Amino acid sequence: MDFPVQVTQASSAHSQAHQTSLSRRDLIRAALLSAAASVLGPSFSLAQAIESGLTPAARGEDGAAYLTDPHWKAAFLNDHQNETLIALSDVIIPATDTSGAKAALVNRYLDLLISVQPSEFQQEFLAALKFIDSESQAQLGKEFLELSLEDQTWLLKPWAYTQQSSHWTERNDPHAQPADLAQQHFHRLKTLIAAAYYGSEIGQKELGWDGEFTHGPYEGCEHSDATHS
Amino acid sequence: MAQDPLQQTYDAIVVGSGATGGWAAKRLSEAGLKVALLEAGRAVTGREFTEHMPSFQLKYRNHSPEVMRTRPIQRQCYACMEYNYEWFVNDLENPYSTPPDRPFTWQRLRILGGRSLVWGRQSYRLSDVDFKAASRDGYDVDWPFSYSDLAPFYDIVENYVGISGAPEKNEMLPDGQFLPPMKMSCGEIRLRDSVKKTFGRTVTIGRTAIVTQPHNGRAPCHYCGPCERGCMTYSYFSSPFTTVKDALKTGNCTLITDAIVSHVDMDVSANKARGVTFVNRTTKETKHVRGKTVVLCAQALESTRILLNSSTQEYPKGLGNSSGLLGHYLMDHVVGGSASATFEDMQASPSANPPHRPNGIYLVRFRNTPAEGKHPHFIRGYGFQGGSMPDFNMDAAGIGADYKKAVKRGVYGVSLGAFGESLANLDNFCEIDPNLKDAWGIPALRISMAHGKNEAALMRDAAITGAEMLEAAGAKDIRLTTGTEMPGMAIHEVGTARMGNDPKKSVLDPFCRSHDVSNLLVTDGSGFVSSACQNPTLTMMAITVRACDHLVERFKRNEV
Ligand SMILES: Cc1cc2nc3c(=O)[nH]c(=O)nc-3n(C[C@H](O)[C@H](O)[C@H](O)COP(=O)(O)OP(=O)(O)OC[C@H]3O[C@@H](n4cnc5c(N)ncnc54)[C@H](O)[C@@H]3O)c2cc1C
Ligand code: SF4
């Protein structure tokens, strides 16, 4: 029994030559393992190891399957919260020439993640989500889900940049630092959404990962001058 | 199956199969001694390695509730993950206590290979500035041997383990037997050159126990990155696939896994150890093994726990504890001082693809050196580990397509984190907690340790000098941390059975032998007299080989 090596799975998108090199490596690996097993003798049987406890990852379980299950149901969020999270995540990380947060099932992963966090964390998350709706109501008279994409962007964008103190009032009170609750709520959501997106297979591909684990040794700096630019 | 392994009398019983136990088993069995190697955990196979499994295949992407529930302490260690947490002890089954105001995080593995399966692999020699530190600054005592006594054993260990690194001719960090070094990034070269030019200090590529060319049947590193999840090519050093494998190959070594040693058994009339008692991990049965010598390699705190649990009428405060010092002088490197910044003028263009270099850079200790002289605020010193690599910028401002672009544009970060010497202090100690037992009924430890003023000053100074060096190298947006992390965090615990020549002031002799019981050895980090600031495992392994070779000589002379 062996875990599904991810490269094999991802290789369908790659060339034939690529696949051949993968299987050659798998063969080398199998040879190494059987050599180790024979030298180390019967006390190294995998059966014993499994009996004694392997992590799901070491057993080769693909935990990502949970997210794509056709019968998926939210573990923590209600329908409205889930829909709001989908919309919000897709405004923050939309599909461009590559897929966005919705396709990466950011909502499903976050639902699972939050379902196992301490209640304080859960409450903070729900408060942030609720804040988006109440602010949407206050400024635009509608819930976030009912806004057009333009209005959703209009609502969120000011919270997505560092704020500085006002030129007008700074002179009067240099210590005036408005505790920006809105930014805190938004930042909490954005950080989680970004982690869920870039941690997904789609997100890894967005960053340019080609599904490989080996590209030869690290060659380091190859500049001849000292500026390194 | 030949003879029942528990009916024989072995020449040596080695307890623990990690970095040091593997060496003891190899060295003694290759010299022809009959060895029993007892390991508390289960066997491990290369098939359970997960270094090529992307994190999106983990159900919780490394936030598993099972890890939070069963490893609340172990997960403080970056290497304890949803991938491999079963290698780490279950905290619910393996309790220890601390005074409320003196927290200690104890991170340990119970599996064949121990912590060598997940270690950070950084490997540095100590120098005579460390071994003779007390003579220079008057604090505490020197080690009972010099660098020249240990150097041949460093050579043996390095030649076998395979350490990649670059020689620097720096008296604080002796050069060793190196395989070709890994390469530095642009940012690291800029930092190295600037630090040398402005401050006269040395930055070198990390010296790491990873082979960069074929070595003793192990393939060179293929730069996949996450070594703490195992290595299918055995390119980094871990004992099951090197030292333990060699020991078993001799035919002289019997490996007994799932054997949790509770105490050493004594022959009271002869004042000699005659074996050990262990509890079977799965059946909880109690068993005994007989041996002419006992070599403890269970890691500093565990070996000392075994000795404290082996009290007899003659040794009421713990076996081999006539000095009263067993358990005392616990040390761990102090961490917490750091500086990080960005090279804003360097193009980042980060890559999600390997190669991922599993190694950083090392900035050699420059405080309280013979060249620099005494620092006004503290004794001893620290070294920095760090690195400079382009990375994706998830913290970029904005939303939408602009944000996606900014993330990929990335930042060229640079960071330095200090590892400082933890002073040997009588008040930092472990003892048996009379009210606490593990899941096998073995009395558990109470650990009481705190970093002091000197450690705090080291970390404060490290933040300052780190910032100065980053500034001089042209880095911007400098951020510091100046505090001291709780003891245990560096996972470099040593001490608790210090070596020395005087039986009244030490527990072990210079060859790791108990002053009180001549056929009892402890060769892991327990015997360290001071912690120095270099990662300790290379030195532990060299000390183990030295002690084992000495033991073999005694066997040859029929002294055992
Ligand atoms: C994440 C991490 C990173 C690290 N990075 C570095 C680094 O870069 N450089 C460095 O020098 N060091 C590093 N270390 C520390 C290094 O791993 C240890 O110093 C080293 O492994 C200690 O060797 P040892 O043989 O004493 O103990 P271990 O390697 O821990 O092995 C002890 C063995 O004894 C067994 N055992 C314990 N109790 C009993 C018992 N009662 N009966 C039977 N068997 C028992 C255990 O199951 C284990 O297998 C790191 C550690 C960790 C966890
Ligand atoms: S980075 Fe190198 S040493 Fe680490 S697991 Fe990958 S191949 Fe092995």
pLDDT single digits (tens) A179-228? 588 899 999 999 999 999 999 999 999 999 999 998 889 999 988 776 77
Pairing state between β B253-256 and B35-38:
parallel
Residue A80, classed as helix, strand or coil, is helix
- Do the chains contact at A213 and B224, CB–CB below 8 Å? yes
Contact B293, B521 (CB under 8 A): yes
Report how far residue B132's alpha carbon sits from residue B134's, in angstroms, rounded to the nearest whole number.
6
Any domain includes B313: yes
User: Which residues lie below 8 Å from residue A35, measured CB to CB, with a gap of 6+?
Assistant: none
Same domain, B251 and B302: yes
- Beta bridge mates, B417: B338, B385
Report how far residue B111's alpha carbon sits from residue B240's, in angstroms, rounded to the nearest whole number.
10
Same domain, B372 and B400: yes
Question: Computed from CA positions of residues A54, B238, B33, B499, in that sequence, does the dihedral angle turn out positive or negative?
Answer: negative
How is residue B367 written in tokens?
């405080």
User: Which residues lie below 8 Å from residue B330, measured CB to CB, with a gap of 6+?
Assistant: B300, B301, B428, B429, B430, B447, B449, B487, B493, B495, B496
Strands (E), A58-197: none
Express the helix, strand and coil content of chain B in percent, nearest 5 each: 25, 25, 50
Question: Residue B355, preceding bond cis, omega within 30 degrees?
Answer: yes
- Do the chains contact at A162 and B240, CB–CB below 8 Å? no
The continuous run of DSSP H or E covering B292 comes out as strand B286-296
Which residues of chain A neighbour B55 with C-beta distances below 8 Å? 199
Does any CB of chain A come closer than 8 Å to the CB of residue B7? no
Torsion of CA B176, B179, B182, B183, to 10 degrees: 90
Contact B82, B64 (CB under 8 A): yes
- Do the chains contact at A6 and B397, CB–CB below 8 Å? no
How is residue B47 written in tokens?
């098939």
**Ordered alpha helix ranges (H), B318-409:** 400-409
Report which of B380, B332, B334, B331 is spatially closest to residue B485, judged by C-alpha positions: B334
Same domain, B248 and B292: yes
User: Which residues lie below 8 Å from residue B214, measured CB to CB, with a gap of 6+?
Assistant: B220
How is residue A55 written in tokens?
């992590």
Any domain includes B476: yes
Shortest Cα distance, chain A CAs vs residue B402, angstroms = 9
Contact B223, B256 (CB under 8 A): no
Any domain includes B134: no
CA atoms within 13 A on the CB side of B319: 31
- Do the chains contact at B193 and A93, CB–CB below 8 Å? no
Structure confidence at residue A78 (pLDDT): 98
Chain A to chain B Cβ contacts (< 8 Å):
223
CA B45 to the chain's CA centroid: 22
Question: Computed from CA positions of residues B14, B20, B22, B23, in that sequence, does the dihedral angle turn out positive or negative?
Answer: negative
- Ligand 1 centroid, distance to B54 Cα (angstroms): 26
For chain A, give the mean pLDDT.
78
Among the candidates B486, B513, B532, a domain finishes at B486
Which residues of chain B neighbour A54 with C-beta distances below 8 Å? 48, 86
- Ligand 2 centroid, distance to B356 Cα (angstroms): 9
CA atoms within 13 A on the CB side of B98: 16
- Ligand 1 centroid, distance to B119 Cα (angstroms): 8
Structure confidence at residue A53 (pLDDT): 83
CA-B229 nearest atom, ligand 2: 5
The complex scores an ipTM of: 0.92
CATH of the domain at B37: 3.50.50.60
User: Which residues lie below 8 Å from residue B66, measured CB to CB, with a gap of 6+?
Assistant: B82, B85
What is the average per-residue pLDDT within A28-32? 37
The continuous run of DSSP H or E covering B500 comes out as none
Does any CB of chain B come closer than 8 Å to the CB of residue A80? no
Report how far residue A137's alpha carbon sits from residue A220's, in angstroms, rounded to the nearest whole number.
53
Any domain includes B38: yes
Report how far residue A136's alpha carbon sits from residue A131's, in angstroms, rounded to the nearest whole number.
8
> What lines the ligand 2 site, CB under 6 Å?
B 51, 210, 221-225, 227, 231, 233, 235-236, 358
- Do the chains contact at B189 and A1, CB–CB below 8 Å? no
Report which of B178, B172, B128 is spatially closest to residue B158, judged by C-alpha positions: B178
**Whole-model pTM above 0.80?**
yes
Note the pLDDT tens digit of each residue in A113-164: 999 999 999 999 999 999 999 999 999 999 999 999 999 999 999 999 987 7
Structural domain containing residue B350? 163-226+334-420+451-486
Report how far residue B467's alpha carbon sits from residue B416's, in angstroms, rounded to the nearest whole number.
9
Same domain, B81 and B5: yes
pLDDT band at A15 (very low <50, low <70, confident <90, very high): very low
Structure confidence at residue A3 (pLDDT): 23
- Ligand 2 centroid, distance to A216 Cα (angstroms): 11
Same domain, B359 and B462: yes
Does any CB of chain B come closer than 8 Å to the CB of residue A42? no
Same domain, B323 and B279: yes
Same domain, B207 and B341: yes
Report how far residue B115's alpha carbon sits from residue B77's, in angstroms, rounded to the nearest whole number.
12
- Beta bridge mates, B37: B14, B255
Shortest Cα distance, chain B CAs vs residue A12, angstroms = 16
Q: How far is CA B287 from CA B6, B258, B265, in A?
A: 8, 11, 11
At residue A36, does pLDDT exceed 70?
no
Any domain includes B152: no
Same domain, B351 and B494: no
User: Which residues lie below 8 Å from residue B280, measured CB to CB, with a gap of 6+?
Assistant: B258, B259, B260, B286, B287
Note the pLDDT tens digit of each residue in A83-120: 999 999 999 999 999 999 999 999 999 999 999 999 99
Report how far residue A211's alpha carbon sits from residue A14's, in angstroms, rounded to the nearest whole number.
9
Contact A166, A172 (CB under 8 A): no
CA atoms within 13 A on the CB side of A131: 18
Does any CB of chain A come closer than 8 Å to the CB of residue B409? no
Any domain includes B213: yes
At residue A7, does pLDDT exceed 70?
no
Any domain includes B404: yes
pLDDT 10s digit of each residue in chain B, 560 long? 457 889 999 999 999 999 999 999 999 999 999 999 999 999 999 999 999 999 999 999 999 999 999 999 999 999 999 999 999 999 999 999 999 999 999 999 999 999 999 999 999 999 999 999 999 999 999 999 999 999 999 999 999 999 999 999 999 999 999 999 999 999 999 999 999 999 999 999 999 999 999 999 999 999 999 999 999 999 999 999 999 999 999 999 999 999 999 999 999 999 999 999 999 999 999 999 999 999 999 999 999 999 999 999 999 999 999 999 999 999 999 999 999 999 999 988 899 999 999 999 999 999 999 999 999 999 999 999 999 999 999 999 999 999 999 999 999 999 999 999 999 999 999 999 999 999 999 999 999 999 999 999 999 999 999 999 999 999 999 999 999 999 999 999 999 999 999 999 999 999 999 999 999 999 999 999 999 999 999 999 999 999 999 999 999 999 98
Does any CB of chain A come closer than 8 Å to the CB of residue B188? yes
Same domain, B317 and B431: yes
Among the candidates B433, B468, B486, a domain finishes at B486
Any domain includes B20: yes
Strands (E), B402-450: 411-420, 429-437, 443-448
How is residue A64 written in tokens?
């990502």
Report how far residue A190's alpha carbon sits from residue A206's, in angstroms, rounded to the nearest whole number.
17
Q: How far is CA B498 from CA B102, B133, B450, B513, B549, in A?
A: 22, 15, 19, 11, 20
Which residues of chain A neighbour B249 with C-beta distances below 8 Å? 39
Does any CB of chain A come closer than 8 Å to the CB of residue B1? no
Does any CB of chain B come closer than 8 Å to the CB of residue A172? no
Report which of B449, B400, B399 is spatially closest to residue B426, judged by C-alpha positions: B449
Same domain, B195 and B264: no
Indicate the DSSP class of residue B364.
Answer: -
Structure confidence at residue B2 (pLDDT): 56
- Ligand 1 centroid, distance to B401 Cα (angstroms): 47
Structure confidence at residue B289 (pLDDT): 98
Does any CB of chain A come closer than 8 Å to the CB of residue B480? no
Overall domain count for chain B: 2
CA-B22 nearest atom, ligand 1: 25
Q: Which chain A residue has the Cα nearest residue B205?
A: A220
Same domain, B5 and B66: yes
CA-B524 nearest atom, ligand 1: 26
Same domain, B248 and B303: yes
Phi/psi for B513 (5° steps) reads -95, 140
